[in-house]
Amino acid sequence: MAADGLTVAQLVAAIERSTAGRLVATISGDADRRIASVAPLETADGTQLGFLANPRYRPVALTSRAGAIVLDAASAAALFPSGRGEGTTIVCDAPYAWFALAAQQLTPAPTFEPWRAESARIAPTATVDASARIDELAVIEAGARIGPRVWIGAGCYVGADAAVGEATRLHPGARLLAGCVIGARGIVHAGAVIGADGFGFAPLDGRWIKIPQTGRVLIGDDVEVGANTTIDRGTMGDTVVEDGVKMDNQIQIGHNCRIGAHTVIAGCVGIAGSATIGRGCQLGGAAMILGHLSIADGTIISSGTLVSRTIGEAGFYTGFFPLMKNREWERNAATLRHLDELRERIRRLEARLQGTNDA
C-alpha cells in the first residue's frame, strides 16, 4: 500500500482483480479521493472508509463524515439519490465483504523476513524451510516439518512430527502438539492449544481410568484459530477441521470432532467429542453442542443455544429462554415444572369432551 493510502478507483480495481470479477463496484463522486484507513461511520473522517451493511444504521450513514462509504444499491438509492455532496459512495452487492477486502488493502502486512532466533530450540531432525521465520524461545521438536514462509512466534511450541503448512503463522505462545498438522495460510492466535488430550475416561468401581489419546488433529488450509481456543486430539482416529474454518477465541472442540469446511464458530462455543458439524455452518457465541451428534450443512445456531440432538435439516435454530425479570422467570419456571401434569389434565378433558360429542 502507498504511504498515503489508495484512491477509491485504485481500491475498486484492486478488489475486482483479487476476486476475479466477483465483487464489482460502482463509484459515485470523487474516484480520486485518497483513502488511508477504515473506521466506523460514526467517527470516520475524510480520509477514511466506512461501510453500511445493515439498514438499521442508515441514519448514521446520513451524517457520517467518512471520505467514502461502501453500501448496497438499495441503501444508496434511499439515502443518497443525488450523491453525497463532497463524499464518495461505493455501491456493490456485498458491502461488508468489499469493506473487509478494502481493509486488507489498506492495512500494511506485518514485516516478515526469514530468520532463526539464537534462543529458539530446533531439533536436529526437524525440517525447517529456509524461508521460514522462527522467533525467540520457540521450540520445534524432532521430526517436525515447517513449510515455506511459515512464521513461528516467540515462545511457540511445535511438537514431534507435527507439520505447519506454507505461509501459516503461529502467534506467540501457540502450541501445536505432537503429530498434529495445520495446512497452508493458517493463523493460530496466542495461547491456542492444538492436540491436547481428549477427555477420555472409563468408569470402574467409582473411579476413572484414563484412555490413551492416540489420534491427531488435522487442520486444513486457510483456517484461523482464535486465542486460547483448544482443539483436542482424537482418542482413536483424528479430530478434523476442514479448509476455511474460522474460529473465535476460547472455543473448545472435543476429541474426534469433525468441523466442515468454511464453518464459522463464535467465542466460547463448546463442542463435545465425536460431534460432526457440517460445511458452511454458523455457530453463535456460547452455543453448546453435545457429543456424538451431527449438524447439517449450512445450519445456523443462535448464541447460547444447547444442541442436544442431531440436526438433519439446515435452518436457523434457537434454544434459549427469552430474557425477563427474575420474578417473572421464577413464576414461569414454577409453571414449567408442572407441564407434564397439565398435559395429562388436558388429555383427560379432551377425552371427556370427545365422549360427550360421541354420545
How far apart (Å, rounded) are the C-alpha atoms in residues 89 and 225? Answer: 34
Q: How many CB atoms lie under 10 A from the CB of residue 289?
A: 26
Phi-psi region for residue 253, left (φ > 0), alpha (ψ -120 to 50) or beta? Answer: beta
171, 189, 255, 262: which one is catalytic?
A: 255
- Catalytic residue list contains 255: yes
Lay out the sheet containing 48-51: strands in order across: 26-28, 88-91, 68-71, 48-51, 37-38
Cell of 74: 438499495
Question: Are 152 and 136 a contacting pair, CB within 8 Å?
Answer: no
Q: Do 233 and 257 touch, CB atoms closer than 8 A?
A: no
Q: Please count the CA atoms within 13 angstroms of the CA of 33 that sit on its side-chain side.
A: 23
Measured in whole angstroms, the distance separating CA 82 from the mean position of its chain's CA atoms is: 39
Rg of the chain's alpha carbons, rounded to an integer? 26
Q: Which helix or strand (DSSP H or E) is residue 102 part of?
A: helix 95-106
> Catalytic site residues?
255
